[in-house]
Amino acid sequence: MTLTTYTVHFHPGDIVVQVPGGVTLSEAAQLAGLDLNQPCGGQGRCGRCAVIVDDPAARDASGPRSAVRRRSTIRLSPEAVAAGYALACQTVVEGDAWVTVPAQQAIERRLTTQKAAARVEAPFDYDPRRHQPIQRYYLRLDPPDLADQTDDWSRVTRALATHGVANPEVSLPLLRDMPRVLRALFSDGKDEAEPAEDQAPDISAAGAFRWHDTTEPWQVTAVVSLDAWDRPQGPPQLLALLPGDHTARNLGAAVDIGTTTITVWLVDLESGEVVAQASDYNGQIARGEDVISRIIYARKPARLIELQELVVGTINRLLQAACQKVGADPQEVFKVTVAGNPTMIHLFLAIPPESIRLEPFIPVVNYAPTVRAGELGLAVNPQAVVDCLPGVASYVGADISAGVLSARMDEAPELTLFIDVGTNGETVLGNADWLITCACSAGPAFEGAGVEHGMRATTGAIEEVWINHETLEPTYRVIGPPGEKPRGICGSGLLSLLAEMLVAGVVDKAGNLRKASASGKDGAPPRNREGQHGPEYVIAWGAETADGRDISITEVDIDNLMRAKAAIYAGFTVMAQSVGVDLADVSHMLIGGSFGQHINVEKAVQIGLLPDLPAPAHEAASEGGDASPWDRFKFLGNTAIRGAYMALLHRDVRAHLNDIARKMTYLELSANNTFYDAFMSAMFLPHTDLGQFPTVKAALKR
């Protein structure tokens, strides 16, 4: 039996995959390494896996048409279907097909770890020989004899020279292991009848490598770091000498240390692919939710060390989990690239961050030197090179440089505003000519922390809420397979909830719950009640939830969310003002941050987190009026982890990040009175000045 296969083209990225007839587009996407949203588990109920077949914007209309069959379009409007939209989980491949995956459908992290990550597309043709500084070489050395008494290390360097590696540096721990590794001495003892277990020096650097009795002496794999950002012309460094041939796999890790969430991508440096992902809350969160409280906590040296160990502990768990997914040993990882805001980087390196907090707000180091993993207790190979991406100023770090990089903001002629909706609310405004940046302490509310029933966007999180304007009864969607019971509310759920509460009138503009707004209906208890922590609104009753407890939002939670959104809004408005830019002139609004990618723009505008900037009327008109009014907004996802990943792969990208960091002008808001005023004005829903929010004004009127 021969199987008929068809070609499915995915846009963007020109990913092509061969599939047998009869599979769904979501299955085809999975085969292509793309991971589409399927909150409802592929039942065609949620509408979140919508893709565009034969997208006129993406391909030539005169080409062949896609041969697909839509089993159900129940979640799509007739207009959408007419425009080519289809539910990937309900659309069957019956011939070649051309499919566009809309940006907002890109995968959201639901699991703490996963093996097959969303296929991450490097924005360059990755050539591991030309771009990657970490290389492995298999060396077959001539064994020494009386006619060739060359010392061990010179013998290795002689062989490395044939690979073009000149004058490599070697560390003491590697030299201490070298005679045993070269001679494949695992259980010597034959010579002086010493106990075999005594042969392994405890000063060993080789770590947890399993040595095999079958390994031939004088045949080793050298792991070499050819260069690093802080030694671009520097001599290569030997990172390991492993017995036998270990060139098949070359692993690296990209790490984003968020104040709230840490993400690790395990990367195959040979293919450039992300082979596993893992993320979790930053273990430091219990010692302070924002950077300021952590800096204060770290003032005592013992506590600085505690915070360093907490963050390294989280990273180590994630590295271990990611490695486990692909059957790798963390000892195989020889490069780690780290993004994070300056305080996170200081704490990660155990550098006292105190001066970041005190005027005039000075980091100890923006361009941290590369260090070895062993110096930090990182559970990869102790000789692995750890590279922290550059910071810009006390409150703007490598995550932001990485965002500018991935959006190519520093190359575009038109104005772009980039907002990282994270704990620190960093924002960048500018174009190819100039870049200005600022940060504000938004707090972790939108990452689910600091909110009574907040949680990360994993299984069991309420990710979207609708409130009936008549009954004030909520309905919600939970992350996970059908029937999954809610355990809490994630950032996008909170944002959605707050916007719905405002528009439905459950909460007033000042963030106060309206006592009488949601009395029990049909005998049900009232959803507005006095809870343990003050007034609250119940979204899910205990009977519906995973642990039997009611899920609610309190006025305190609402206040936290309002502070977060007010800080971010005040930040970018004050910055735009400082350079005389009218936000209406901004061509692109980029949303970053791991939470950012799940934002419903309309709802974010409704609560006053994002500026009320619908597409200019003439543009909307020119596109026939059916384009989204929020076309100016684009989601970049977690730009920090993406930047770390790109810098991990490509030495030029790494150098480019330093250039970007140097190019940015930092606007210090901490000592800015204008900022405080703007913040206070934004402490309303959406804002004290409704004139800044025309579409919200209209919605509230309805």
Give the binding site for its own copies (CB under 8 A): 144-146, 148-154, 169-172, 175-176, 178-180, 183, 191-192, 194, 198-203, 230-231, 233-235, 296, 299-302, 304-305, 349-352, 354-355, 358-369, 371, 375, 391, 393-394, 666, 668, 671
Choice between 204 and 459, CB closer to its own copies: 204
- Cβ 148 to its own copies, closest distance in Å? 8
Helices (H) and strands (E) in the chain, counts: 19, 29
Residue 18 has, within 13 A of its CA and on its CB side, a CA count of 3
- Cβ 671 to its own copies, closest distance in Å? 6
Choice between 178 and 570, CB closer to its own copies: 178
Decide if 645 contacts 457 (C-beta within 8 A): no
- Cβ 395 to its own copies, closest distance in Å? 10
Q: Return d(Cα 682, Cα 589) in angstroms, integer.
A: 19
- Cβ 28 to its own copies, closest distance in Å? 19
Question: Per-residue DSSP letters for 49-89?
Answer: TEEEET-TTTS-TTSPPP-EEES--TTS-HHHHHTTEEEGG
Choice between 49 and 351, CB closer to its own copies: 351
Residues 6+ apart with CB under 8 A from 531: 552, 554
**Entry field: residues in the chain:** 702
Taking CA atoms, 73 is separated from 43, 96, 200, 435, 600, in Å, by 11, 21, 65, 45, 22
Q: Among residues 472, 493, 392, which one has the least CA distance to residue 39?
A: 493
- Cβ 294 to its own copies, closest distance in Å? 13
- Cβ 607 to its own copies, closest distance in Å? 32
Choice between 157 and 594, CB closer to its own copies: 157
Q: Return d(Cα 88, Cα 85) in angstroms, integer.
A: 9
Instruction: Determine the angle formed by the axes of helices 555-578 and 673-681, rounding to 10 degrees.
Output: 130
Cα angle at 640 between 638 and 641, to 5 degrees?
75
Choice between 165 and 415, CB closer to its own copies: 165
Decide if 244 contacts 212 (C-beta within 8 A): yes
Decide if 506 contacts 515 (C-beta within 8 A): no
- Cβ 206 to its own copies, closest distance in Å? 13
Choice between 64 and 235, CB closer to its own copies: 235
Choice between 303 and 588, CB closer to its own copies: 303
Choice between 198 and 470, CB closer to its own copies: 198
- Cβ 349 to its own copies, closest distance in Å? 6
Residues 6+ apart with CB under 8 A from 4: 20, 21
Decide if 57 contacts 45 (C-beta within 8 A): no
Q: Return d(Cα 492, Cα 499) in angstroms, integer.
A: 11
- Cβ 266 to its own copies, closest distance in Å? 25
Choice between 360 and 580, CB closer to its own copies: 360
- Cβ 343 to its own copies, closest distance in Å? 13
Choice between 369 and 542, CB closer to its own copies: 369
The tokens for 14 are 């020109």
Taking CA atoms, 227 is separated from 81, 116, 204, 232, 651, in Å, by 52, 30, 25, 5, 8
